[in-house]
Structure formats: structure tokens, C-alpha cells
């Protein structure tokens, strides 16, 4: 029998009530760091996605080398031969196959994400299924940014060989039809790093033109000490996102501004006062550009609506 050497004591490893059965065709120690990280994945998915997990058994079979794995896949899954790892459903049971290599941790996390999602949620659109798997294969990196994908997509965009097209991506129905660029695009589409809500979305916008100063002031709040900013910060910290939203700010001197607040995952807050504010005669315009560092590996700049219509505003922001 091929699977003669099993994980020692016990042969079936349980991960938070979901039976995860790990087998190998070599002497694999149960306390290996890789297996510890694999056990953590289920809790990460549960905490991040809030999914109630099923109790379906997931079989994990690890091969000692690429040759043995290739022989196995060529016999049983010839259409998928050439890959480092696989997730398949056989007779209603879930199987993950992988090679014990320097990539084994990311490979197992990727394929097990498929297994957990499919056993608990059911069939997902392929682009979302693969995008989430690409996202969760990254362990120990803040924001889980898969640093292989961003340069790839950026280079393709600059060369004119790739443009984002979720409709095209959603039309792909089989994993073997996906290219490396498709995987990168799926990851980028699933890997939300920042959410930007509209201008003055918290207070509303168009009705403000008809309000008295007292009515506008009643809608306003302090930034960054106000309730809305605190709520944005709590969401940013909880979900590890950059979140931006617009509101009416009342400054310390009583002036009112059309302000855009950006809350960071580490609790930091930045805000921009619209440079060309004309929705209400009772509101003032800002007098400075807003640029700051971000955990995305780049600077972010904020301009609000009409600010962008004057090209020098965009140019000045980009040059800061």
C-alpha cells in the first residue's frame, strides 16, 4: 500500500472539530512546523469569513518527491498533471495532494482553503475560489499581500498585455484553463486591501445645499475624535483594511469642512479637507494636499470629487 507511513499518534489529526486526516509516503513528524501552520488555517478562515464549518473529513496526502507525485497524478488526474498540488472531490469526499518541498506550506494552505470552502459553503465561482486560495496561501505576511502577483499584473498593464476584466475571469469554468495571470488577477480581485466610500456618504451630500448653518453644523462632528472616525478605525483594525469615508467636519475653530477620513489597520487616521467646496456657503475649503504612507508599499493621496477636475491638483499630489 502506498500510504504505509502515516502521521504518528494519532493517524487522524483533528483541527477544531473538523477531522483533517494527514498521510504521507515517508516518515512525517506530527509536530512539524508545516503541520502546525496547516492546523491554524481553519481558525483563520473561520475568524475572517465567519463561515460555519462542516464536519466533513478532509484527506491530506503528501508525497515525498515530485516524481512520485507526477506518477500518481498522471494515472489518476492526467488533465491536472504538472501541478505541485491538487484539491479534488472523489465520491463525495475531499482530498488534497501535495509534494513535500520548499513550497509545501503555501501549497497545502492553498488547496486546503479550497477544501474548507467547498465542504462548508459549496461550489463557488472559480475566480473567487482561486482568489481566496491565493490569498490564504500566504502565511505570516501583514495584509497577506501576495508579492508575486502585483509586479506581474503591473508589468502586464504597462505593456498593454493585461487589463482587469472580471467578466472574462468569471467565464472560466475549469482550473486547467486558468493561466498564471488569471490566478494573479483572481487573487487581486479577492484580496481587498482598501475600501473607499463616497464623498460625504456619512452625512449625505445633495440635501446640504438647502440647509441653514445651524442644520449643517448639527450634521458635523470632530475629526479625528468624532464617533464616525472611531467607527471607521474599529472596522479598519478588525478587518485589517484601509477604509475611507466622507463626512462634514467641525474644526476646533468652528469652521465646517467637506472632509474625507482614512482609517488605517494600525489605528492611524488621516483626513483631507476638500480644496474646492461649493455644496454650501456655510462650509469652507481646505488649504493643503493630503499624502501619507500606507502598508501597501506605496503612498496614498486623497482628492475629493471636483479636486480631481483640476489637473494640477492630481499632479501636485502625485509628486509629493
Of 3-7, 46-50, 145-149, 180-184, least confident by mean pLDDT is: 3-7
pLDDT (0 to 100) of residue 121: 86
pLDDT (0 to 100) of residue 140: 63
Write the CA distances from 247 to 256, 257, 281, integer angstroms. 10, 8, 16
pLDDT (0 to 100) of residue 24: 87
Do residues 99 and 65 lie in contact, with contact meaning Cβ atoms separated by under 8 Å? yes
Per-residue pLDDT at 125 exceeds 80? yes
Q: What is the pTM of this model?
A: 0.62
Q: pLDDT (tens digit, 9 = 90+) per residue, 96-107?
A: 999 999 999 999
Q: Which three-class secondary structure state does DSSP give residue 276?
A: coil
The reply to whether CATH 1.10.3720.10 applies to domain 13-190 is no
Q: pLDDT (tens digit, 9 = 90+) per residue, 242-251?
A: 999 999 999 9
* CATH fold label, 194-319: Nitrilase/N-carbamoyl-D-aminoacid amidohydrolase (3.60.110)
Mean pLDDT of the chain: 85
Q: Where are the domains of the chain?
A: 13-190, 194-319
pLDDT (0 to 100) of residue 3: 40
Identical topology for domains 13-190 and 194-319 = no
Integer Cα distance of 246 and 151 in angstroms: 31
Mean per-residue pLDDT, 210-238 = 94
Amino acid at each position: 500500500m502506498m500510504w504505509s507511513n502515516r502521521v504518528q499518534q494519532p493517524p487522524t489529526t483533528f483541527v477544531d472539530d473538523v477531522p483533517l486526516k494527514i498521510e504521507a509516503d515517508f516518515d512525517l513528524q506530527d509536530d512539524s512546523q508545516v503541520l502546525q501552520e496547516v492546523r491554524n488555517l481553519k481558525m483563520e478562515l473561520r475568524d475572517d469569513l465567519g463561515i460555519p464549518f462542516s464536519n466533513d473529513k478532509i484527506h491530506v496526502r503528501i508525497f515525498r518527491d515530485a516524481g512520485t507525485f507526477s506518477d500518481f497524478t498522471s494515472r489518476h488526474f492526467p488533465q491536472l498533471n504538472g501541478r505541485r498540488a491538487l484539491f479534488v472531490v472523489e465520491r463525495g469526499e475531499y482530498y488534497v495532494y501535495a509534494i513535500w518541498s520548499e513550497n509545501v506550506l503555501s501549497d497545502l494552505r492553498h488547496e486546503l482553503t479550497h477544501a474548507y470552502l467547498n465542504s462548508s459553503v459549496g461550489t463557488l465561482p472559480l475566480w473567487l475560489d482561486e482568489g481566496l486560495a491565493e490569498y490564504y496561501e500566504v502565511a505570516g505576511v501583514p495584509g497577506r499581500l501576495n508579492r508575486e502577483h502585483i509586479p506581474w499584473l503591473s508589468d502586464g498593464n504597462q505593456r498593454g498585455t493585461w487589463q482587469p476584466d472580471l467578466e472574462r475571469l468569471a467565464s472560466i469554468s475549469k482550473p486547467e484553463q486558468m493561466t498564471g495571470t488569471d490566478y494573479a488577477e483572481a487573487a487581486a480581485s479577492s484580496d481587498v486591501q482598501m475600501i473607499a466610500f463616497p464623498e460625504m456618504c456619512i452625512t449625505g451630500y445633495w440635501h446640504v445645499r438647502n440647509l441653514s448653518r445651524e442644520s449643517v453644523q448639527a450634521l458635523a462632528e470632530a475629526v479625528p475624535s468624532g464617533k464616525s472616525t472611531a467607527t471607521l478605525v474599529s472596522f479598519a483594525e478588525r478587518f485589517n483594511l484601509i477604509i475611507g469615508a466622507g463626512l462634514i467636519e467641525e474644526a476646533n475653530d468652528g469652521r465646517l469642512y467637506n472632509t474625507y477620513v482614512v482609517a488605517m489597520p494600525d489605528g492611524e487616521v488621516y483626513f483631507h479637507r476638500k480644496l474646492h467646496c461649493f455644496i454650501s456657503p456655510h462650509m469652507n475649503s481646505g488649504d493643503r494636499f493630503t499624502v501619507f504612507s500606507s502598508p501597501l508599499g506605496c503612498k496614498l493621496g486623497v482628492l475629493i470629487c471636483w479636486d480631481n477636475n483640476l489637473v494640477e491638483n492630481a499632479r501636485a499630489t502625485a509628486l509629493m
